[in-house]
Amino acid sequence: MKIVLAAWAAALSVAFGAAPLHFVGSQMEPHEIVVTAKRFEFDPATITLKKGEPVELVLKSQDVPHGLKFRELGVEVKASKGKTGEVEFTPERIGEFVGHCSVFCGRGHGSMSLTLHVVE
């Protein structure tokens, strides 16, 4: 009986000792999402992220300066003319959030939006 218990204890310590380390390691690495901005759209126009998973949002401008702002999430990234900007964040709420261009870029500026879905 003692031997069986010892074997169980060893098995449990392996399962609970090793797995969380791997879990934490994979959680720390921000997932990179690249969004291209040009007059007057974002590509892709829809992105899906997992709640609690850190991401690095990379905004690439193909023409004039653009921005992407999710007011509800307090997240904003700007990219100057022909350049790239990044922001790191972790979505903590499930839902649908609409981001808008935050740098005036011309006539269609007001219609530039990107829908972010945050899922469990």
Residues that bind Cu ion (CB under 5 A): 101, 105, 109
User: In the complex, what is the shortest distance from the CB of residue 112 to Cu ion, in angstroms, rounded to a whole number?
Assistant: 5
User: In the complex, what is the shortest distance from the CB of residue 42 to Cu ion, in angstroms, rounded to a whole number?
Assistant: 10
Within 13 Å and on the Cβ side, how many CA atoms surround 86? 9
Cβ atoms 117, 96 nearer than 8 A = yes
SS3 content of the chain, % helix, strand, coil (to 5): 30, 45, 30
CB nearer Cu ion, residue 91 or residue 102: 102
CB nearer Cu ion, residue 49 or residue 105: 105
Q: What type of residue is 78? A: K
Cβ atoms 31, 56 nearer than 8 A = yes
User: In the complex, what is the shortest distance from the CB of residue 110 to Cu ion, in angstroms, rounded to a whole number?
Assistant: 8
CB nearer Cu ion, residue 67 or residue 91: 67
User: In the complex, what is the shortest distance from the CB of residue 69 to Cu ion, in angstroms, rounded to a whole number?
Assistant: 10
Q: What type of residue is 27? A: Q
Q: What end-to-end distance do the CA atoms of the chain give, in Å?
A: 43
CB nearer Cu ion, residue 60 or residue 109: 109
